[in-house]
Structure 1
């Protein structure tokens, strides 16, 4: 790791702090924080505090990292290293496009998770478990120890070097993207992916089905939900989502919005509407 040898004492201290903090990313999975967002912010605080001198700049950086983030543990440190390099460049170059930091995060989550999930969950964990189980089947407590060692030692090493690798390729990576015009494409693509992700999350997680019926003499009752589906499948969940976004853009407290939806759901349930 020639890069690490060339780092200043302050750089090494900052990167060590980022490394140890990065283990907390998976501990912040809540709907309000957009999956790992709080963990990402906590991980990058040493970077933000070091490279940005004013409270306004630091606040902008923190808000920038409240966006949705979810990538395979251990390998996601490559993104953290890359983001660290980009934050440094953003603090030094007034012409740097800060939105590209979010774009790079969004564009790398999928590809890296595809690699990370396949390796860590599909290969490394299975191999470690099979060896550990075979040892444990003989009645030896070493089975559990071997399993933990075979999985966690490689994971720890990859987690460590992924951070420095991401940081080392950061400057060249961004420079090449700008020179080739790829940054504009990347930013546009990440925006499209974000919209697609939001649409799929809305369709799969926001549910509303009314049980209201209109009684018609001499025929089957008319189910309101059937007509809503004919008009636009998922029109009510989509409307609720759009209203929620509108309220958030109007700076309505997220807790007020969440509890308002809960109370509305309870009232509609008690009234037999849904």
Structure 2
């Protein structure tokens, strides 16, 4: 382990704390933040250590890690390790761009979620279930235990070593990238990737299909949805998303927006508009 991580004894201790705290990642999920509170809680050993002499920076770090976070659980600790190494650099280097920490987190969430979900949920879980079902069909009472072991042992090992690997890679390469000036390019690229991810999620998750139509002599002569699609496919979901974004910038509470969208959806459904 020491050859793999090449970190101090205190840092190893903090990484182990981070690993155990990471099990709380999605214990307090909200639509606006997802696993942000769990991520922040996992980062606290490093935040308390690196910023113990600077309460203001500590506060900024806590706020920083309450930003939206959502990725596949087994690979989440890898991102935590990288974020911890960047917090270390931020505490040592006055010129370090703290905004790059969340930019890197955002850029890694999507790709790692795709990889992790495909392997752990799409492959490993299916294999574990296949073996367990085969055993269960013969009446073997160990079938559920075998399923849990086959799925969870590799998952926990990836989470544990991913914590150390992320921190090691961050400590080794982040400083070099920063000194070379590539961090600014990387931050901008990460921001673009993050915006693409948000745009993709919005187009897939925000739906609107109106039922309004006009008929003459039993034949349909006008379908409002077809007209809207001819103007711009998905124009209503786009406008709704932009409206919510505008209201968020105006400091409108996310809870008001959530209940407002739910209420609007119910009203449109009751009136047979959508």
Q: What is the TM-score of this pair, normalised by structure 2?
A: 0.85
Is the contact between residue 202 and residue 241 of structure 2 (CA under 8 Å) also seen in structure 1?
Answer: yes
Q: 1:256 to 1:129 in 2, by over 3 A?
A: closer
Q: Check the 8 A contact 2:110/2:197 in 1, yes or no.
A: no
Match of 2:120 in 1: 120
Q: Deviations over 1:118-141 (max 9, x none)?
A: 442344334433433343333222
Taking the aligned partners of 1:63 and 1:233, their CA distance within structure 2 comes to 37
Q: Which residue in the other structure is 1:152 paired with?
A: 152
- Give the conservation status (yes or no) of the 8 Å contact 2:51–2:91: yes
Report the counterpart of residue 138 of structure 1 in structure 2: 138
- Return 153-162 or 130-139, whichever deviates more: 130-139
- Ranges in structure 2 where 5+ consecutive residues have no aligned partner: none
Provide the C-alpha distance between the structure 2 equivalents of 1:237 and 1:81, rounded to a whole number of angstroms.
36
Equivalent-residue separation in structure 2 for 1:258 and 1:38 (angstroms): 19
Counterparts of 1:248-267 in structure 2 under 5 Å? 248-267=248-267
Post-superposition offset of 1:94: 1.2
**SS state at 1:264 partner:** helix
Quote the Cα distance in structure 2 between the aligned partners of 1:235 and 1:6.
Answer: 52
Distance 1:111 1:210, change over 3 A: closer
**What SS does the corresponding residue of 2:74 show, helix, strand or coil?**
coil
Give the C-alpha shift of residue 163 in structure 1: 0.6
> How many equivalent pairs are there?
272
Q: CA deviation at 1:248?
A: 0.7
SS of the equivalent of 1:74 reads helix
Aligned counterparts of 1:93 and 1:68: Cα–Cα separation in 2 = 25
Question: Counterpart of 1:41?
Answer: 40
Distance across 1 between alignment mates of 2:178 and 2:24: 32
RMSD: 2.8
- Segments of structure 1 that go 5 or more residues without pairing to the other structure are none
Matched residues in 1 for 2:267 and 2:125: separation? 46
Q: Quick check: 1:107–1:186 contact (8 Å CA) kept in 2?
A: no
Q: Aligned partners of 1:134 and 1:212: how far apart in 2?
A: 52
Q: Distance in 2 between matches of 1:52 and 1:100?
A: 18
Q: TM-score with structure 1 length normalisation?
A: 0.85
The more displaced of 178-187 and 160-169 is 178-187
